[in-house]
C-alpha cells in the first residue's frame, strides 16, 4: 500500500463514521485554534504596550520620586508620592547641560473635572513647561501648546488633548474659549483660556496624551497653596528627560543619577530612574510570560484532541481486525500495517489542524479592535504561531497513532481471520 492509498483509506474511515470523526476533529480544531487565538491576544497586548511606551516620545529617561521616610512621623511614603522630587530639580538638570541631555521637563499629574458650558469631562492634568511638547512629540491640531510666555507669566492658559477637545468643543472652535478646571471635589476651581488642541496620539494610558490637559506648572505653584512645600517649591511626580539619539541612554541615566545625588546631597538615591528601553524590556518580559501562559492553557485542548485521535484509531483497529488479518495473509508486513495506521492518524490530525488554523485566524481577526471591559482588544497573528500550531497538530497525529499502529501491527493474522 502506497502513502497515497493510506491517505485515501484514512479519509474513507473519517467519512464512514461522520459523527465520531467530527467529535474527534473538534478536539483538534479547538486546540489548534485556541493556540492561535491566545498567542494573537498575547502578542497584541505586547505590541499595544510597546506602542504606548513609544508613544510617550523617543529616547526618554524618566525620573520619579522614591519612597521616603517622613522625618516628623517616621511614616514611609510610597514610591512616586512626590515627596523627594521638586520642580527646581528639573530646572537644575536643564541648567547643568549634562552630556547627551537635550530636553528636560517637570511633570505634575492629578485629576480634575473640565467644564465648558454644558459639556464636562474627567481629565488628567499635566502641569509642565513649554518644552513638554517637543520632548513628548506633541503637535497641535489647531492653536498651539503652552509657550514660554505662559510659563513666565504664570498664565491661566491651557492646551487640550484631542479627546478632551472633541468632548468640550465638538465644532473645533475651542481656541480662545474658557474651560473651568474643578479640583478637590469641586472645592477649588479656576477658569483657563484655551490656547490649542493637540493632534491625536492614540494608544491608552500614559502612552496617550489624548485625555490630558496641559497647564504651566508655575500657574499651579502660584495659585494652589496645598501643592507648594514650605520652601515655596512644588513637589512633582516625574521629570522626563530626552536624550540625544546618538548617545547611549545608559550614559544619560548614569549622568543624571550622579547629578541628582550631588544636588540632593545624599549618598543613596531618593529617586528612581528608568530609561524608555528599560520600560520596553520589562513590559516585553511580562507579556512574553503572558503569551506563554495563554499558549499553555490552549495547549491543554490539544492534549484532549490527541486523546481523541488515539481513541478513534484504537477503535479503528478493533473494527478492522478482519482487514488486518487478510492483508497480513496476502503478504503485508507488520511495518506495512503500522505505517498505514500512522498515516491515517496523521491525516486526521492534518485535517483537524487545517480547520483549526482557519478558525483561529478568523476569530483572531474578528475580535481584533473589539471592546472588552472598556478597552480595545488588539490581536496580532504571528506566522510562527500558525507554524507552531501546525507542527503540534502533526506531532499529535504521529504520537497518537504510534500505539494503535503498534497494536495493529501485532495482530495475529490467524486469530484475526478466525474472529472474522
Grid coordinates given for 182: 474643578
pLDDT recorded at residue 1? 58
Average pLDDT rounded to a whole number, residues 219-223 = 83
Average pLDDT over residues 19-27: 78
- Pick the range with the lowest mean pLDDT from 57-61, 134-138, 213-217, 416-420: 416-420
pLDDT (0 to 100) of residue 71: 39
Q: How far is CA 57 from CA 52, 158, 176, 212, 276, in A?
A: 9, 21, 28, 15, 9
Cα 38 from Cα 44, distance rounded (Å): 10
CA 306 to chain CA mean position, Å:
31
Look at residues 368, 292, 350 and name the one whose alpha carbon lies nearest to residue 29.
350
Which residues are CB-neighbours of 274 under 8 A, at least 6 positions away? 61, 62, 64, 253
**Low-confidence winner among 63-72, 261-270, 278-287 (lowest mean pLDDT):** 63-72
* Bridge partners, residue 116, by sequence: 119
Residue of 415, 411, 416 lying closest to 334 (CA atoms): 411
**pLDDT(186) > 80:** no
pLDDT of residue 254 exceeding 90: yes
Q: Please, which pLDDT band fits residue 208 given cuts at 50, 70 and 90?
A: low
pLDDT of 216 above 90: yes
By the 8 A CB rule, do 88 and 232 touch? no
Are the C-beta atoms of 79 and 67 separated by less than 8 Å?
yes
By CB neighbour count within 10 A (0-12 exposed, 13-18 middle, 19+ buried), where does 258 fall? exposed
Q: Is the pLDDT at 418 greater than 70, yes or no?
A: no
- Distance between CA 201 and CA 214 in Å, rounded? 15
Sign of the Cα torsion 57, 61, 65, 67 reads: positive
Work out the average pLDDT over 319-328.
78
Report the range of poorest mean pLDDT among 5-19, 73-87, 90-104, 181-195. Answer: 73-87
pLDDT of residue 92 exceeding 60, the answer is yes
Q: Which residues pair with 191 in a beta bridge?
A: 180
CA distance 133 to 201: 12
Classify burial at 195, counting beta carbons within 10 Å of its beta carbon; exposed 0-12, middle 13-18, buried 19 or more: buried
Q: Which residue has the cell 474651560?
A: 179
Q: Interior CA angle at 268 toward 262 and 274, to 5°?
A: 85
Is 75's pLDDT higher than 60?
no
State residue 375's pLDDT score: 63
Q: What is the pLDDT of residue 245?
A: 87
Residues in the chain, how many?
Answer: 420
Residues 399-414 as b/e (b if ≥16 CB within 10 A, e otherwise) read: ebbbebbebbbebebe
- Give the pLDDT band of residue 79 (cuts 50, 70, 90): very low
> Which range, 68-72, 155-159, 356-360, has the best average confidence (pLDDT)?
155-159
pLDDT of residue 371: 67
Instruction: Please identify which residue in the block is written with the cell numbers 522625618.
Output: 71
Contact 106, 239 (CB under 8 A): yes
DSSP state of 270: S
Write the CA distances from 21 to 70, 230, 320, integer angstroms. 70, 78, 16
- 286 pLDDT more than 80: no
First to last CA, the chain: 22
β strands within 37-187, DSSP E: 60-65, 101-116, 119-128, 140-143, 157-160, 178-183
Please indicate whether residue 352 or residue 18 has the higher confidence score (pLDDT): 352
Choose the weakest-confidence range: 28-37, 68-77, 165-174: 68-77
DSSP secondary structure code for residue 247 in this structure: S
Residue 225's pLDDT is what? 66
Report whether 159 contacts 80 (CB < 8 A).
no
pLDDT in tens, 126-182: 999 999 998 888 899 999 999 999 999 999 999 999 999 999 998 888 899 999 998
Q: What is the DSSP string of 138-182?
A: --EEEE----HHHHHTT--EEEE-HHHHHHH-TTS--TT-EEEEE
* DSSP labels, 331-398: T--HHHHHHHHHHHHHHHHHHHHHHHHHHHHHHHHHHTT-EETTEEPP----HHHHHHHHHHHHHHHH
pLDDT value at residue 63: 93
Question: What are the grid coordinates assigned to 236, written together?
Answer: 512633582
**Residue 260: its pLDDT value, please?**
93
Residue 35: the pLDDT is 82
Rounded to 5 degrees, φ, ψ at 141 are -80, -45
- Tell me the HSE value of 215 on the side-chain side, using a 13 A CA sphere: 30
User: When comparing pLDDT for 101 and 222, which is higher?
Assistant: 101
Across the chain, mean pLDDT equals 81
Model confidence over 359-393: pLDDT tens digits? 989 998 888 777 666 566 778 888 887 888 788 77
Amino acid at each position: 500500500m502506497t502513502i497515497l492509498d493510506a491517505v485515501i483509506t484514512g479519509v474513507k474511515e473519517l467519512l464512514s463514521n461522520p459523527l465520531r470523526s467530527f467529535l474527534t476533529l473538534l478536539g483538534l480544531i479547538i486546540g489548534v485554534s485556541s493556540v492561535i487565538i491566545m498567542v494573537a491576544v498575547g502578542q497584541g497586548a505586547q505590541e499595544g504596550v510597546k506602542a504606548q511606551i513609544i508613544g510617550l516620545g523617543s529616547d526618554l529617561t524618566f525620573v520619579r520620586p522614591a519612597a521616603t521616610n517622613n522625618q516628623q512621623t517616621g511614616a514611609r511614603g510610597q514610591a512616586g508620592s512626590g515627596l523627594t522630587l521638586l520642580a527646581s530639580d528639573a530646572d537644575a538638570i536643564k541648567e547643568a547641560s549634562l552630556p547627551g541631555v537635550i530636553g528636560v521637563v517637570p511633570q505634575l499629574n492629578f485629576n480634575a473635572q473640565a467644564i465648558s458650558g454644558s459639556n464636562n469631562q474627567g481629565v488628567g492634568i499635566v502641569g509642565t513647561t513649554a518644552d513638554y511638547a517637543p520632548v513628548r512629540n506633541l503637535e497641535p491640531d489647531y492653536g498651539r501648546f503652552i509657550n514660554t510666555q505662559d510659563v513666565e507669566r504664570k498664565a491661566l492658559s491651557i492646551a487640550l488633548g484631542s479627546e478632551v477637545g472633541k468632548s468640550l468643543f465638538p465644532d473645533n472652535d475651542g481656541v480662545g474659549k474658557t474651560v473651568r478646571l474643578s479640583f478637590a471635589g469641586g472645592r477649588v476651581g479656576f477658569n483657563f483660556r484655551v490656547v490649542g488642541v493637540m493632534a491625536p496620539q492614540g494608544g491608552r494610558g500614559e502612552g496617550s496624551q489624548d485625555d490630558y490637559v496641559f497647564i504651566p506648572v508655575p500657574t499651579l505653584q502660584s495659585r494652589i497653596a496645598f501643592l507648594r512645600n514650605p520652601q515655596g517649591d512644588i513637589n512633582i511626580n516625574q521629570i522626563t528627560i530626552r536624550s540625544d539619539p546618538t548617545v547611549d541612554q545608559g550614559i544619560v541615566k548614569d549622568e543624571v543619577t550622579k547629578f541628582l545625588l550631588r544636588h540632593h546631597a545624599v549618598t543613596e538615591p531618593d529617586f528612581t530612574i528608568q530609561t524608555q528601553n528599560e520600560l520596553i524590556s520589562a513590559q516585553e518580559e511580562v507579556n512574553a510570560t503572558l503569551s506563554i501562559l495563554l499558549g499553555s492553557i490552549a495547549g491543554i485542548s490539544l492534549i484532549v484532541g490527541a486523546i481523541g485521535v488515539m481513541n478513534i484509531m484504537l477503535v479503528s483497529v478493533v473494527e478492522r481486525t478482519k482487514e488486518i488479518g487478510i492483508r497480513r495473509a496476502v503478504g503485508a508486513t507488520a511495518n506495512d500495517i503500522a505505517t498505514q495506521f500512522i498515516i491515517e492518524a496523521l491525516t486526521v490530525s492534518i485535517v483537524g489542524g487545517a480547520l483549526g488554523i482557519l478558525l483561529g485566524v478568523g476569530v483572531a481577526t474578528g475580535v481584533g479592535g473589539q471592546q472588552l471591559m472598556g478597552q480595545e482588544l488588539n490581536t496580532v497573528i504571528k506566522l510562527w504561531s500558525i507554524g507552531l500550531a501546525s507542527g503540534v497538530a502533526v506531532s499529535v497525529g504521529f504520537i497518537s497513532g504510534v500505539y494503535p499502529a503498534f497494536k495493529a501491527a501485532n495482530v495475529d493474522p490467524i486469530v484475526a481471520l478466525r474472529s472474522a
